[in-house]
Amino acid sequence: HVTLVPSHLSCAVISEDERQVRYQERIHQSFGKVKYFYGVLGSPSIRSGKHYWEVDVSNKSAWILGVCVSLKCTANRNGPRMENYQPKNGYWVIGLWNAGNYSAFQDSVKYSDFQDGSHSTTYGPLIVPLFMTICPNRVGVFLDYEACTVSFFNVTSNGFLIYKFSNCRFSDSVFPYFSPMTCELPMTLCSPRS
C-alpha cells in the first residue's frame, strides 16, 4: 500500500489521504521560465521484493512517475531538473509532457563535435520516445528489486508493457516517485484492478 510523503521543498500538494498529488505554484516563487519539476516520494521505502502500484494520470498534460533513490531526490534543494532524470542519477522514470510526448529517461549519451578541426564532448540526456496507440489513463509500475527491473504498464490498454528498465543498480532503498510537473490536474494512487 503506497502513500505519498509531503516535501517542504516541493510545489506539489498532497491530499489529506496521501493518495493524490497535484502541482500548485508558490506565491513567492519566481523562476521565470520553469526549469524545475518538483515531485514527491512514496512510502514505504523498498529494499527487497516485488512491488506494484497504479497511478491515475487521466487528463493530465504532463507527469513523471517511477522509482528513485531517496538521497538523489532530496539532495538538490532546487529540485530535480529534467536532465537529471536518468538511472545514473537514481531515477528510473517515464513521463508525458506537451500533452502528447511520452518518453522514458535513460542515461546520458556522449556527443563528440569535430567541426572546424576542434574536438569537444558534451553529455545530453537520452530521452526515448514511447509510442502508444492508446494513451494511458492509468499506469501500473512494477518493481522487482532482486531482478533489478522497473516496468511500466498501460492499464488502460489491457496491461500493455510501455517500457522496462533492466539491470537497474539499486545500491540501497528506493522509493516510488511522482511528479505532477506543472500541470494542476492531480495524479492519484489507485488500488490495482483485479
The structural domain count of the chain equals: 1
Structural domain includes residue 173: yes
- Please, is 165 exposed, middle or buried when counting C-beta atoms within 10 Å of its C-beta (0-12, 13-18, 19+)? buried
| 140: containing domain | 3-26+36-108+120-190
Distance CA 106, CA 94 (A): 9
Distance CA 94, CA 103 (A): 6
Cell of 117: 578541426
Structural domain includes residue 114: no
How does pLDDT run along the chain (194 residues), one tens digit per residue?
899 998 766 678 899 999 999 988 765 554 444 445 568 999 999 999 999 999 999 989 999 999 999 745 444 445 556 777 889 889 999 999 877 899 999 987 665 555 555 555 556 568 899 998 899 999 999 999 999 999 999 999 889 999 999 999 998 899 999 999 888 999 999 998 75
Structural domain includes residue 172: yes
Kindly report the CATH number assigned to the domain that includes residue 42.
2.60.120.920
Structural domain includes residue 81: yes
Distance CA 170, CA 6 (A): 23
pTM of the model: 0.84
Q: Which residues of 100-137 are buried (b: 16+ CB within 10 A; e: fewer)?
A: eebbbbbebeeeeeeeeeeeeeeeebebeebeeeeebe
